[in-house]
């Protein structure tokens, strides 16, 4: 930030020095009037000269005040930014300096187009390759059972979808990929690198992105008896590196953010023998904004974003065409369930829902995903959701599940049994009113037989169903990750909404009196 000068106001200084002179002139003229014969002949001459002197001095003072630089007159504002600080990516715009003082507009004589980066610019750290690129290069070793290379190909979208011909419009088939639910870190990294508000000048940045693939780094060590040290190693190394960066030390991480492509609980190990890494609990992680596919609702720095799905529109027209397709789709069944029972879990709720669906006398379509039946690379899931008005969405292995987004993108209305599956998670991406796009049935009512899922869903009129579906369709753009690395021209997708939200949060955190929400 440019220095702020605080000189004393020039008008008060001038007045203090001129007032005695005026008094002296007045006293001299008054005393000499008794001694001068001219003053006797022209009694008003001295008063006229006095008046002219006073007026002249006032004019001089006014001109001096008007000629002072603006920063000397309004010392509580910062000085205007100079062209020396323009970010390299957009020479037409001035850089955004991070200041808690009010901003002063540049002279109206300088015309410039509206700044689409008014919320701030993003600096992307060039991390050592071990934290991202080398993980991709060694993708065959990221999973103890099979290679992850295919899943992480095509910039994180995975392999192109097959078997969709005849299921969806032919022109939209190229917009579909068999995307892995844990590929978020790669998708976000590619998009940030091409973001229009990215800057290579850290001094002009509002936010700093750490492209560490935390989810990929820990995934290899979650099974087969690896130690807690193995699961913590990558995160510890990253924090050691970032703490040596000057812009980290300037803010203690408050203006930094990163993606962690798994659920938050995979990074919250409190005991060595427990699941996951302890990354989020490590010193240095406290102030970093973390984008995850499931957050801890009570941690301000956890920000949840949609799971990646298979639909990656290439243009605005792809979105419109898809919305029209799911809007006009003839749906054969009232509701559906896609999932696998957990035989090892006592009173498994997903198994209970599967039985409800099978016993619904033709009103429900079930897709039993036991084993690998519903793994990436099949159209069964999409077809099931396209054919149903409602889709049952219990909690997954954690409170959230990717199936929620697969369901909604297909224009099916989600039915929830836990509030934390969606209502306490995706506030930036879903409608504020849960009833406008979903149905909630408490799981206990289903378990004890008090509530019949079929009866509850049959109570909705066709008009109510259409209204809810229309709300789901309206929000589809916010739930998908677009194919172009620069995003879509006139439509904000899930990535755009997430980045806009992060920049807004960081900007708010710099305001005086800021409190965590």
Residue 287 lies in a domain: yes
Return the SS3 of 304: strand
pLDDT of residue 79: 25
Per-residue model confidence as pLDDT tens digits over 317-353: 999 999 999 999 999 999 999 988 887 777 889 989 9
Give Cα 333 distance to the centre of its chain: 37
Residues 139 and 231 in one domain: yes
> CA 491 to CA 201: how far, in whole Å?
28
> CA 499 to CA 495: how far, in whole Å?
6
390 close to 191: Cβ distance less than 8 angstroms: no
Residues 154 and 301 in one domain: yes
Q: What is the CATH number of the domain that holds 444?
A: 3.40.50
Domain count within the chain: 2
Where is 335: in which H helix or E strand? strand 333-339
Listing from the earlier edge strand, what are the strands of the sheet with 333-339?
364-368, 333-339, 388-393, 413-416, 439-440
> CA 390 to CA 360: how far, in whole Å?
13
Range of the domain at 382: 329-476
Residue 453 lies in a domain: yes
The residues, ordered by sequence, that sit 6+ positions from 102 with a Cβ below 8 Å of its Cβ are 76, 77, 78
Residue 403 lies in a domain: yes
Residues 176 and 291 in one domain: yes
Per-residue model confidence as pLDDT tens digits over 265-304: 999 999 998 999 999 999 999 999 999 999 999 999 999 9
Residues 267 and 184 in one domain: yes
Residues 171 and 290 in one domain: yes
pLDDT of residue 73: 30
Residues 291 and 337 in one domain: no
Residue 145 lies in a domain: yes
Residues 127 and 221 in one domain: yes
Which DSSP category does 342 fall into? -
In 3D space, the residue among 227, 322, 213 whose CA is nearest the CA of residue 276 turns out to be 227
Residues 224 and 359 in one domain: no
For 35, 43, 50, 51, 203, the CA distances from 27, given in Å and listed in that order, are 13, 15, 11, 14, 60
Q: Could you tell me how many residues make up the chain?
A: 517
- The pTM (predicted TM-score) of the whole model is 0.77
Residues 402 and 278 in one domain: no
Residue 276 lies in a domain: yes
Residues 229 and 263 in one domain: yes
Residue 314 lies in a domain: no
Residue 84 lies in a domain: no
Going by their DSSP bridges, the two strands 198-199 and 207-210 should be labelled as: unpaired
Residue 361 lies in a domain: yes
pLDDT of residue 45: 53
Give Cα 383 distance to the centre of its chain: 31
Give Cα 344 distance to the centre of its chain: 38
Residues 302 and 337 in one domain: no
Residues 263 and 374 in one domain: no
Write out 121-167 in H/E/C secondary structure: CEEECCCCHHHCHHHHHCHHHCCCCCCCCCCCCHHHCCCECCCCECC
Per-residue model confidence as pLDDT tens digits over 92-123: 332 333 333 223 222 233 334 457 898 899 99
């Amino acid at each position: 930030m440019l220095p702020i000068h605080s000189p004393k106001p020039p008008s008060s200084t001038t007045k203090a020095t001129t007032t005695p002179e005026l008094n002296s002139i007045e006293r001299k003229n008054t005393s000499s009037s008794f001694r001068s014969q001219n003053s006797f002949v022209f009694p008003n001459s001295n008063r006229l000269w006095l008046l002219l002197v006073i007026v002249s001095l006032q004019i001089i003072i006014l001109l001096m005040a008007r000629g002072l630089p603006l920063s000397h007159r309004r010392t509580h504002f910062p000085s205007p930014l100079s062209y020396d600080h323009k970010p390299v990516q957009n020479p037409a715009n001035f850089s955004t300096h991070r200041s808690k003082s009010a901003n002063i507009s540049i002279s109206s004589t300088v015309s410039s187009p509206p700044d689409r980066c008014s919320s701030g610019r993003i600096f992307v750290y060039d991390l050592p390759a071990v934290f991202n690129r080398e993980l991709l290069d060694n993708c065959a070793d990221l999973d103890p059972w099979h290679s992850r290379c295919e899943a992480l190909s095509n910039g994180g979208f995975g392999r192109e979808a097959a078997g969709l011909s005849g299921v969806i419009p032919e022109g939209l088939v190229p917009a579909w990929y068999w995307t892995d639910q844990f590929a978020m870190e790669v998708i976000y990294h590619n998009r940030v690198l091409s973001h229009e508000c990215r800057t290579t000048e850290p001094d002009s940045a509002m936010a700093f992105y750490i492209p560490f693939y935390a989810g990929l780094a820990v995934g290899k060590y979650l099974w087969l008896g690896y130690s807690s040290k193995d699961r913590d190693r990558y995160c510890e190394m990253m924090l050691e590196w970032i703490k040596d960066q000057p812009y980290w030390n300037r803010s203690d991480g408050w203006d930094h953010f990163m993606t962690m492509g798994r659920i938050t609980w995979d990074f919250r190990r409190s005991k060595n023998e427990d699941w996951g890494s302890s990354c989020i609990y490590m010193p240095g992680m406290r102030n970093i904004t973390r984008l995850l596919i499931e957050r801890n609702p009570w941690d301000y720095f956890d920000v949840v974003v949609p799971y990646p799905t298979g639909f990656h529109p290439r243009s605005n027209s792809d979105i419109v065409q898809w919305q029209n397709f799911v809007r006009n789709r003839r749906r054969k069944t009232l509701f559906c369930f896609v999932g696998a029972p957990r035989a090892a879990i006592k009173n498994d709720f997903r198994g209970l829902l599967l039985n409800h669906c099978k016993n619904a006398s033709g009103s429900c379509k079930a897709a039993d995903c036991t084993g690998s039946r519903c793994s990436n690379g099949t159209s069964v899931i999409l077809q099931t959701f396209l054919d149903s008005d409602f889709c049952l969405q219990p909690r997954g292995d954690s409170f959230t599940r990717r199936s929620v987004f697969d369901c909604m993108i297909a224009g099916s209305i989600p039915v929830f049994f836990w509030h934390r599956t969606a209502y306490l998670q995706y506030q930036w991406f879903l409608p504020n009113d849960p009833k406008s796009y979903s149905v909630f049935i408490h799981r206990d009512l289903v378990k004890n037989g008090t509530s019949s899922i079929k009866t509850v869903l049959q109570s909705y009129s066709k008009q109510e169903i259409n209204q809810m579906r229309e709300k789901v369709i309206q929000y589809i753009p916010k739930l998908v990750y677009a194919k172009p690395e620069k995003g879509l021209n006139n439509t904000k997708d899930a990535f755009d909404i997430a980045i806009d939200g992060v920049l807004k949060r960081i900007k708010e955190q710099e305001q005086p009196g800021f409190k965590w929400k």
